[in-house]
Homo-oligomer: A and B are copies of this chain.
Amino acid sequence: MFEPIKNKKIHQQVSEEIQKMILSGELKLGDKLPAERKMAEMLNVSRTSIREALRSLEIIGIIESRQGEGNFISENFDQVGLEPMSLIFTLKNGKFKDILEIRNILEIEAAGLTAERITEERKEILENLLTDLINADSEAERVAIDKSIHYKIAEYTNNILIVTILETISSLMIYFIKDARLKIVKNLKVDNLLEDMHRNIVKSIISGNKEKAKQAMKEHFDNVYLSIQDNEEFDN
């Protein structure tokens, strides 16, 4: 049969060209790209097309444009993907429940994986965070530490996809419910549930017991779920 005639737009081709250089390793984190005028000359296209390509790469977080300096490959991407996700989520009528559901799944599994792969050095870091949490004297602080603990657990799975996806989902949650984390932490403050639960999680991860770690994380989320059940704001 005939092959479909390709009619790719210039800016798209330019974008792909840059992506290729990234995928091939030619461009690395933090690298500076050639100046726009230079690139336009090199690829023999207008600066307009170069810029349209850069814009598309910018919004997905791959590059950063700094006026007067240049275009750079981003160093920081933990929160990449939020923009598209939140829009798609809205357009497809996603429910808040969906966010919680997948977050629970991933956090529970992450706890299990981290328990299997934990190192001495990392055990110490987690324990320090736990101590900080117990000694925290403001809710803002507790929220920050709570977030750190969960982030570290995800990071210690050694699976970059889990980290990226969980970050995206967390951002998505915040996007839909402002200060969601703070509200949850407030509710759990009663009876020191927050501290107890996290002590449980950290201890079981440190013990290296996968199933115990998953169970502890599950219980934590069960509590979270109970604590927000009555809050109409989370209803969606």
Which A residues are within 8 Å of any B CB, using their own CB?
11, 15, 19, 22-23, 28-29, 48, 51-53, 55-62, 73, 77, 80-81, 83-94, 98-99, 101-102, 105-106, 109, 113, 159-162, 164-165, 169
Contact = CB atoms under 8 A, between A and B. Distances in A.
**A interface majority secondary structure:** helix
A84 B73 contact: no
Nearest to A48: B48
A157 B9 CA distance: 37
Q: How many of these chains are in the complex? A: 2
Contacts of A165: 102, 165
A15 B159 CA distance: 32
25 contacts: A48-B48, A56-B58, A56-B60, A59-B59, A60-B60, A61-B88, A62-B84, A62-B87, A62-B88, A62-B91, A73-B91, A77-B91, A77-B92, A80-B84, A80-B88, A81-B81, A84-B84, A85-B164, A94-B161, A98-B162, A101-B113, A101-B162, A102-B162, A105-B109, A165-B165
